[in-house]
Amino acid sequence: MIMELKAGMKAPAFAVNDEQGRLVKLSDLFGKKTVLYFYPKDMTPGCTAESCNLRDNYKTLQKKGYEVLGVSSDSEKSHRKFIEKEKLPFRLLADVDKKLHEAYGTWVEKSMYGRKYMGTARKTFIINEKGIIEEIIEKVDTKNHTDQILKPVARKAEKKPKSVLKPKAKRKVGEG
C-alpha cells in the first residue's frame, strides 16, 4: 500500500512521456514551481473546462513562476489532439501505464450509478522548486482552478470554522 501524500512531503519521482514522446522527469523541474494536475480524460467537459481555465491564465501562472503539467492515462496521440483543439500552451503527460497515477494516489476506485470502476481522481499537486509538495488541491473547481492555485490563503480561510468561541473568563469564587 502506498502512503498517502501530504503537503511537506517529497514529491514522488517520475519519468513519463509528454504528448510529443519526450521524457519528462520530476528532477527536470527542480528550480521551478510546478502545477501537476491530474484529470480523468482528454476532451471531456470537466477536463476541458479545467484545462482551458489554466490555458486562459497561463501567462499569469508563468509570471508567478509556475510550470503547468497535465496528467491523464490518455495516449500521446490523444493529448496532441486535445492540445491542438483547445490550444493548450503547456505539456500533457501520457501516463498510459498509470505508474504516475499510482505514485501520487490518483488512480482510485470510483462509483457511478452503483457501478464501481477504477479511474483518475481529479487532484492537483503544487510542488516547490526543491521537489517538495507545498499543497494538494483535492476539491478542484474546474472553472476556477487558477484561483485555487494562486490564492491558497483563501482556501486555508475556508477550512477554518466561521465563528470561534472565545473561552469564558474565569470567575473568582464569590463573584456573581
Domain ranges of the chain: 15-159
Which entry of 11, 36, 47, 68 is annotated as an active-site residue? 47
Question: pLDDT > 90: what percent of the chain?
Answer: 81
For residue 163, what pLDDT is reported?
40
Where does the pLDDT of residue 167 fall: very low under 50, low under 70, confident under 90, or very high at 90 and above?
Answer: very low
Backbone angles phi, psi at 64, to 5 degrees: -85, 0
Handedness of CA 138, 143, 115, 36 (dihedral sign): negative
Lowest-confidence region among 15-29, 39-53, 139-153 = 139-153
Distance of alpha carbon 94 from alpha carbon 91, whole angstroms: 10
- The listed range with the strongest mean pLDDT (3-7, 123-127, 153-157, 170-174) is 123-127
Is the pLDDT score of 172 beyond 60? no
Lowest-confidence region among 38-42, 48-52, 162-166 = 162-166
Cα distances from 23 to residues 15, 75, 106, 131, in angstroms, run 6, 14, 21, 18
Which position has the higher pLDDT, 170 or 115? Answer: 115
For residue 92, what pLDDT is reported?
98
Is the pLDDT score of 33 beyond 80? yes
The residues with which 124 forms a beta bridge, in sequence order, are 37, 137
Question: Is 47 one of the annotated active-site residues of the chain?
Answer: yes
CATH architecture entry for 15-159: 3-Layer(aba) Sandwich (3.40)
